[in-house]
Amino acid sequence: MSIAVGRGFVPVQDLIEVTKGGDDANDGLTLEKPKLTIASAIAQAVSEGKGGVNVSIGTYIENIVMQDSKRLDAESSSLTSATPSTTVLEAANSSPVRLGFLSGSASNQIIYNINGKQRTLLNCDTFVMGTFFGPLPTGQTGINITGANDDIPVNILNGEVRADSSTLISFTGSSTTPPKIDLGSFTNFGDNITLMSYNPSDPLQRCTVVATWEDDVATAVTGTVLFDVQAGTLNLVSPGGVNVPGKTIAIVRNGGRFGLSDEAVSGNVEVQVGGEYQIAALGLQVGNLDLQGSGNIFQNELTGDLTIGPSAVFDGIIGKVGGTITIDPAAITAGNVNGIINGVAYGTYKNPSYSFDYGDFSNLNDGAYMVSSGVFTSPTKGPVASEDLVPESITWGEDNSNAGTLEIWSNGARWGTAVKTASNKASAVVVPDVAGSCISASENISIRWVATVGGNRMRRYIVNLNCRRC
């Protein structure tokens, strides 16, 4: 048996090669004849119908405009530009980009721009805004999203913001598929930095950002706002934590919604009127929470001040507040504060947590005080409150159905009343004689029966008084 052996398969070169020792006069079809610049290679890929560009190790100082359906493989290379007011990298449709390093060092620059591009992908190991030496640039935008027709996977392993008065991500467009932006670990060395300005044109737009942020407080002393949420819903997942002590994690403006998922964060949160803030479960926030909008918040500890404004809506639990708690009475009166804060229950969380039982097998005559634990009570004698309490409701059961009034007394004075209907078993709400008053800890609590018609009795009665903490 014999086997004929030919020249074998010769693969077709689908990428245009670029090296620092190349020449743009070359065709770029082999590493022996590479291009010198990425821009020239992209143009060659378009004219030759190739899939894209492969860039060898090196630093390329260029301004790149990607072309539809062409990819850029430069995972061992650096792309940067010092040209002012110019985009360093412009995205295109279905044109994935892989970079080892991407940066811009001039003021008023956009480093990466996405404007209505479909299936645009950026994978970047290191993303840097600004310079490592000399004065820091100002007015930079790291990633500018002004419109997108599909998901926008932006994946950055780590980065630094060495610029002043700049924004890492500006999102003003919309996407039919919610984008997920993974920023990895970032550090900040500039002043007046916004990590993400989120103001999509579609108010129903939802976006998820995965980021770990560590602020250098020694040099970045003013103006840091990580997330400025102006519209739509922005969810932050921060597995490595957010650490901007004394500065602002998020401003949530009217029409914006912000969700935070993490075990611990350091920094302040400001929720303006009309903004919404959600925390599913947070261990520790080292900072202040100013809630003027609405919040669905569950966290173990807030070390700073808690402010709940007159128009705010609070639902949830904050286990421990280390600073000052300021809750506007208007929010409580409107029934908009429903939760437990520092162990104190508000609104719908004020479920009866203390109960007192009264009952006897004999009759209770008109004007008499009930028996508690086998002992007759009086205006100054009865079970003692262990905390400051507010009686809220009374339930009763008896062998008679006379109507009347059940009066709550404490320390020789009547505290409030509940109307007993003509029924053997029912309940009633306790109305205080003085709105907002409490029965103080160590004071007695007793109940007096007053019949609607003189002489009417309660027979073989069992009465339960339900209270909450004041």
**pLDDT at 394 exceeding the cut of 60:** yes
**Rounded distance, CA 207 to CA 178, Å?**
5
Q: Give the mean model confidence (pLDDT) for residues 207-214.
A: 87
**Rounded distance, CA 259 to CA 233, Å?**
8
119: confidence class by pLDDT, cuts 50, 70, 90? confident
Instruction: Provide the mean pLDDT of the chain.
Output: 89
**pLDDT at 353 exceeding the cut of 80:** no
Residue 217 is predicted with a pLDDT of 57
Residue 20 is predicted with a pLDDT of 95
User: Topology of domain 354-469, per CATH?
Assistant: Jelly Rolls (2.60.120)
Q: How many CB atoms lie within 10 A of CB 52?
A: 22
Q: Give the mean model confidence (pLDDT) for residues 145-158.
A: 81
**Rounded distance, CA 242 to CA 35, Å?**
43
The residue behind tokens 């705010």 is 312
Q: What is the pLDDT of residues 402-451, one digit of tens each?
A: 999 999 999 999 999 999 999 888 889 999 999 889 999 999 999 999 99
Residue 216 is predicted with a pLDDT of 66
**pLDDT at 333 exceeding the cut of 90:** no
**Rounded distance, CA 90 to CA 189, Å?**
26
E strand intervals along 330-445: 337-341, 344-346, 354-359, 363-364, 371-372, 375-376, 389-397, 404-410, 413-420, 425-429, 431-432
Q: Indicate the SS3 state at residue 137.
A: coil
5: confidence class by pLDDT, cuts 50, 70, 90? very low
Domain positions in the chain are: 13-50, 51-349, 354-469
Q: What is the pLDDT of residues 50-84, one digit of tens each?
A: 999 999 999 999 999 999 999 999 999 999 998 88
**pLDDT at 171 exceeding the cut of 50:** yes
Residue 242 is predicted with a pLDDT of 87
Contact (CB, 8 A) for 364 and 457 = yes
Closest CA to 187 of 222, 226, 237: 226
- Retrieve residue 199's tokens: 């103001």
